[in-house]
Amino acid sequence: MAFNPRILLGLLSLITIGASADLPTLYEYYTEGGINSGLSVDQPYFTLNGKNISIYSGAIHYFRVPPELWQDRLRKLRAAGLNTVETYIAWNIHEPQDGVFDFGDGGTESGGWADLPGFIKLAQQEDLFVILRPGPYICGEWEFGGFPSWLLRNDGIKLRQDDDVFLNYVQRYFDQLLPILSELQFTKGGPIIMVQVENELGFSWYIDTNYLQKIYDMVRGGGIVELLSSCDGASSEQIGTLPGLLFQTIDFGSDIEGNFGKLEEIQPNKPVMAMEFYPGWADHWTEQHHTTDPNDFRNNYEQALAWPGSANLYMFHGGTNWGFLNGANNGVGDNSNFQPITTTYDFDAPLTEAGDYTPKYDIIRELTKKYSAVETYTPDPPEVKERRVYSSLDLNGQLRFEDILRQAPDKIESDVPLSMEMLPINQNSG
């Protein structure tokens, strides 16, 4: 009989499956016997479908990663022992023009940068649960906090406040977004276990509880039945939430006792969770690349898991701020200091901008295995992508600035300077 390599590959696959057959996947374990309930915080620990769970999560923003690399990054996240992926949802990606929406084709194959449903389905395919943070404001060092720039064409609009003009735009956007998310909720057989309402409203913004209540009502009214959360700092003056309606999470990367302890005071008899647990930080232009010591990260992360607490690593894989979509940080009052974010969003994360493993990745694998109360099948880390060197190119010409201007598709004459949002281009979306 002639040698057939397909048979050998099939036998190896059976051996691999047999070796792990005694360990269920996440979905096998948490959906065994049918789905009766979602993520619960009615006790001092999380339960999912009635079973205990600690949320070991990592942030990957689909809009910062080329779609053809989504699967690789998600597989590496699951192989680190994490059970959940978190992402912001960037409004300006999905409504680039006023009233024109783009959510891709919803398939698990690449449907473009805006294929949010495809990313969510791919996460489930890779045995991951999903936390979504649709804002509408998402911060994240992203252009205009995720708001479409054309919103500023409305003179006097009040962002993130109880303003009818702004809220009407949010409602129109949510009317397109939420039906897509609704069908992908855990209690409907999908991966979404938690949805955050707004984002860090208490950090540096006037806390308009009427506005927050209306965003909450939109999300619930849009068919989202899973756990709804908010996210802020741990100090009492930084809390922007709706007690009894939103599960409160916080942001930090150190002083676990101080932060989780404060959260337990604010929100007693509930599980504690860091929605943004920082293994690194973003870079601003003119600064040195931010790095954090892996040993410091190990100590902080282990203290958080041993509390016991849940944590979403922000970022697990930062990716890239493509085009002109990098945002900026800015202080308030006397601390005002404009700090534009670089193109890279490496964040000194456990997985580099290029998708390579770092010492922090190995630490995560070690600690999630140590503290996981439930042992499920965890795949081995995928191989790192092959690197190639581009061939050299000879320069044989140049374009002068006036040559570029002559080729510009839109030419606008104005006696006064116009902001980019007010330019009558892009279907009057600036």
Residue positions annotated with a catalytic role: 200, 276
> What number of other Cβ atoms are within 10 A of residue 4's Cβ?
9
- The 3-state secondary structure of 51-104 reads EECCCEEEEECHHHCCHHHHHHHHHHHHHCCCCEEEEECCHHHHCCECCECCCC
Q: Are 196 and 229 in contact (CB under 8 A)?
A: yes
Secondary structure of residue 379 in the 3-state scheme: coil
Strands 51-52 and 56-60 turn out to be: unpaired
What are the structure tokens assigned to 236, written together?
């009492």
Nearest CA-CA partner of 230 in 219, 222, 221, 147: 219
- Residue 46 DSSP label: -
Residue 401, φ and ψ in degrees, nearest 5: -60, -40
Q: Are 133 and 402 in contact (CB under 8 A)?
A: no
Secondary structure of residue 320 in the 3-state scheme: strand
Separation in Å, CA 74 to CA 25, 31, 191: 15, 21, 13
The interaxial angle of helices 294-306 and 359-371, nearest 10 deg, is 20
Enclosing H/E stretch for 304:
helix 294-306
Q: Are 17 and 28 in contact (CB under 8 A)?
A: no
Strands 328-329 and 339-340 turn out to be: antiparallel
Enclosing H/E stretch for 312:
strand 310-317
- Owner of token pair 């232009």: 285
- The 3-state secondary structure of 201-265 reads HHHHCCCCHHHHHHHHHHHHHCCCCCEEEEEECCCHHHCCCCCCCCEEEEEECCCHHHHHHHHHH
Nearest CA-CA partner of 312 in 251, 229, 375, 227: 251
Angle at 309 between CA 303 and CA 312, to 5 degrees: 95
